[in-house]
Amino acid sequence: MAMPDENTVFEWTAVIMGAEDTDWEGACLKLRMKFADTYPNKAPEIKFVTKMFHPNIYKDGRICLDILNEKWTPSYSVHTILTSI
């Protein structure tokens, strides 16, 4: 689930529920998404708000994911991004 903040469409809150049969089962993982005015030509900045340990998540919550960097394409939707995460 993801939705824009009440005061701006450029900042969103997203929630990913932990998948069954994983270490995150039952977890409610919160993320912040910030969209530049150049979106969709530039990927949004996404950080986990929920503290967690994962090799692809930096200590500050940033996510190491190729589609948010060098593999970004404007055809990716918020749904696609969250599914990839």
Flag whether pLDDT at 52 surpasses 90: no
Is 64 considered catalytic here? Answer: yes
Flag whether pLDDT at 9 surpasses 90: yes
Cα three-residue angle 50-51-54, rounded to 5 degrees: 110
- Residue from 8, 17, 64, 73 carrying the catalytic annotation: 64
Rounded to whole angstroms, the Cα distance separating 32 from 50 reads 10
Is the overall model pTM greater than 0.75, yes or no? yes
**How many residues does the structure list for the chain?**
85
pLDDT digits (tens, 9 = 90+) for 27-38: 999 999 999 999
State residue 29's pLDDT score. Answer: 96
